[in-house]
Amino acid sequence: MSISPHSNIILMAKEIQTIPSPTFSEIKRAEFLAESFSALALLDVHIDPAGNVSARIKGGDALPLIISAHLDSVTMPDEKYPLVEGERQITGPGIGDNALGLAALVEIGRNLITQKTPPPGDIWLIGNVGEEGLGNLKGMQGIVDKFQNQVKAYLVLEGIGLGMIQNAALGIHRYKIEVNTMGGHAWSNYGDPSAIHELVALSTRILAIKLPGNPRSSINIGAISGGGSINSIASHAEMQIEIRSEDEMILESLSRTLHKIASQPKTSEMSVSISEIGMRPSGRIAENTPVLLTAQAALRSTGISPVFATSSSDASLPISLGYPGTCLGITSGRQVHTPQETIDLLAIPKGMAQIFHFIEHVWDY
């Protein structure tokens, strides 16, 4: 089975990709999605105070199914990097993460609204804010606060990742380390403390932290800023650091080590501070839980062998709370979070067939 570049889901993904939607500024994309839901005559279409856009497909009295996809994107539409379309793939910033995931929400609504037999329970389609970067799963937190464990399942859609089933949430801690000094002239005040010099020294110590080979863990310095001019001693510098681990105890241990490195006594000439700027919870659900059995059967129905994955997505939040949830991808792809982000067109029919199989059978377990 192949898919036409002019199919509904591809046209929708391309249109969504053109709408800038950085974290904390997703409103234009949310409004577009709300209009698309309304055009399908879905029920209860609205944008909540957090910025999430929701629509409902009426079902029976069973617990509802929540299907979500995040609105925000790390990479923005760029004239330097326009969408490049081929017979087998489309390349462009944000096309897979998560324009295609949002397009899948609309496609689900388009197909289910025409069915004569209603599903056993309501189906909520939700485009949520705050999944990327320092969004800290803000949108998903609002969804979970509303529905809590009174759901059949939380199904999170990502454009890329077909074949993977998230059964565990990857714990993440994010920090900002700031250094402040008196600063001064690079020549006349030479020898006085420099915030940048101290930050570089701290980063060297941080990157020297020994990480275990198993379970997998990582430390990343993602952003550094500070200083004023090349001939000035920097009075301020800061960096953002992310720690990840598949093991919660290791994650906590790494965080303590980071705090120890950054915890230097404040002096009249220099101060160092560390603050938490984000976190993502860890957790795991059993592989034989109904939501994961449904996901496995859905993938196998398309001829794809499922693979369980520990990852970080909106599904991490319900998983961390022990609620039934998982994340599934719509197609395969590569170079996510770059201008060369690419989705494979030929796999999309299987990806959508997987999702519809999941929806049809999730109430069977």
Between CA 86 and CA 306 the distance in angstroms is 28
0.75 exceeded by the pTM? yes
Between CA 170 and CA 325 the distance in angstroms is 14
**What is the per-residue pLDDT for 2?**
52
Q: Considering only the top CATH level, what class is 8-169+282-364?
A: alpha beta
Domain ranges across the chain: 8-169+282-364, 171-280
**What is the per-residue pLDDT for 264?**
78
Structural tokens at position 134: 């320092």
**What is the per-residue pLDDT for 49?**
96
Which residue ranges of the chain lie beneath pLDDT 50? 1
Residues 265, 325 contacting (CB under 8 angstroms) = no
**Alpha helices by DSSP H, the chain:** 8-17, 27-39, 101-112, 138-147, 195-207, 248-262, 290-300, 316-320, 348-361
Task: Kindly give, in sequence order, each residue whose CB lies less than 8 Å from that of residue 179, ignoring residues fewer than 6 positions away.
Answer: 195, 196, 198, 199, 202, 226, 236, 237, 238, 270, 271, 272
Q: Considering only the top CATH level, what class is 171-280?
A: alpha beta
Between CA 4 and CA 302 the distance in angstroms is 19
Q: Identify the residue whose tokens are 């189906």.
A: 123
Between CA 321 and CA 161 the distance in angstroms is 23
Structural tokens at position 327: 């994340």
**What is the per-residue pLDDT for 175?**
98
